[in-house]
Homo-oligomer: A and B are copies of this chain.
């Protein structure tokens, strides 16, 4: 057992983002990350199974925020409004991590393989939302369309939020509401 390191998780995450940014994702090793954080590889592997996990998380916690918040919406709420609640809940979670989310996005934008991983992750969230809508009694193709349109709204709102200037006052849930409203306008 290694000794306890204060905030090892956060230090490793920050060190990884710095290095991915400086020399690229491919050319950064786990050893580099641990060294930059002043920690050992062993400590790294207590927190992450590989360097990609620093960016994409360990499991499906992010997906769970979407699904759990959709499940919690009272029955009878229109599907698109129920999905909006779910998107805003996930958005509120990311809002609290804005500096991390922005740096992470810069790393992903610079690497095609990571962009594909992000795309696949979002597709998997859309599938989970589709299933949850079906369980709420929404029929096809409405369930798939609502979930897929919702994830498109989320992704576009997210991109606009991370690209906004540092003094941006609007929070991610507001960007999500705006994008959903814009979707309503373009499809009207």
Contact = CB atoms under 8 A, between A and B. Distances in A.
A132 interface: no
Interface string A86-109: 000000000000000000000000
Q: Please state the number of chain copies in the assembly.
A: 2
A141 B1 CA distance: 51
Interface string A139-157: 0111011101100110111
A156 B144 contact: yes
Interface string A41-56: 0000000000000000
B79 A186 contact: yes
A164 interface: no
Interface of A: 79-80, 116, 119-120, 123, 140-142, 144-146, 148-149, 152-153, 155-157, 159-160, 178-179, 182-188
Given A141-B157, A142-B182, A149-B187, 8 more contacts: A116-B120, A142-B186, A144-B152, A146-B186, A149-B152, A149-B186, A183-B187, A188-B188
